[in-house]
Chains A and B, each alone.
Chain A
Amino acid sequence: EAGVVQSPRYKIIEKKQPVAFWCNPISGHNTLYWYRQNLGQGPELLIRYENEEAVDDSQLPKDRFSAERLKGVDSTLKIQPAELGDSAVYLCASSRGFRGLNEKLFFGSGTQLSVL
């Protein structure tokens, strides 16, 4: 079974430029998550999808961040325009979505973003 696939692995951009990250979850996983991990910190949730619906986007900075999950499979996270403080690792995760306490998240390798 293929794991969560993310691309690109690394991205370097200048501030004020747009950037997009792509995620393909594990087949059959209904729930998809985007997390941001700052250097030396744990991941923090940005947005959670149940199929096509964004059910928790309370931590997503909506002035510059947007996300979509068309057809309930792949997802794209976009930043426009990027700021220096956006430099971080952006992790995508997926889970089956039965909402039990023990529901495991499966993570991709992340996209490391550097904003210059």
Chain B
Amino acid sequence: AQKITQTQPGMFVQEKEAVTLDCTYDTSDPSYGLFWYKQPSSGEMIFLIYQGSYDQQNATEGRYSLNFQKARKSANLVISASQLGDSAMYFCAMREDTGANSKLTFGKGITLSVRP
């Protein structure tokens, strides 16, 4: 089974508007971490935001916030006030607390295009 599911087709948003990128995950581990990375056309994966499974509040980092719904196993990324530079691929990822071989597992990604 897929551990990280990102099923949205390419997303479009008007500049200065907010957009939500969906992510659902699957784990039986009570302790895990969720990440969002941005990959512009240059290819480098850029860390955006992190949410721990035991964190009481939703994570926020500037214009990025994470809508964490633990019971639904979803961790949607919200980008407020979209900018042209936000056009990129966005990947949701999870790290499970599996000891020495704990690793970051990525979803397939979502393409976001910001329209002027």
Tell me if chain B binds chain A: yes
Residue of A nearest to B4 (CB): A42
> CA–CA, A3 to B46, complex, Å?
11
Shortest beta-carbon distance from B70 to chain A in Å = 15
> CA–CA, A89 to B35, complex, Å?
21
**Structural contact, B108 and A109, CB atoms closer than 8 A:** no
**Structural contact, A99 and B102, CB atoms closer than 8 A:** yes
Contacts of A44 in B (CB 8 A): 106
**Structural contact, B47 and A40, CB atoms closer than 8 A:** no
Shortest beta-carbon distance from A5 to chain B in Å = 11
Mostly, the A contact residues are loop
**Structural contact, B101 and A56, CB atoms closer than 8 A:** yes
**Structural contact, A42 and B44, CB atoms closer than 8 A:** no
Q: Mark B18-49, 1 if CB is under 8 A from A, else 0.
A: 00000000000001110101000011111100
> CA–CA, A30 to B56, complex, Å?
31
> CA–CA, A102 to B84, complex, Å?
29
Q: Mark A46-67, 1 if CB is under 8 A from B, else 0.
A: 0010000001101000000000
Asked, given contacts A41-B109, A42-B107, A44-B106, whether A101 binds B95 with beta carbons under 8 Å apart, the answer is: yes
Which B residues have a C-beta under 8 Å from some C-beta of A?
A: 4, 31-33, 35, 37, 42-47, 50, 52-53, 91, 93, 95, 97, 100-109
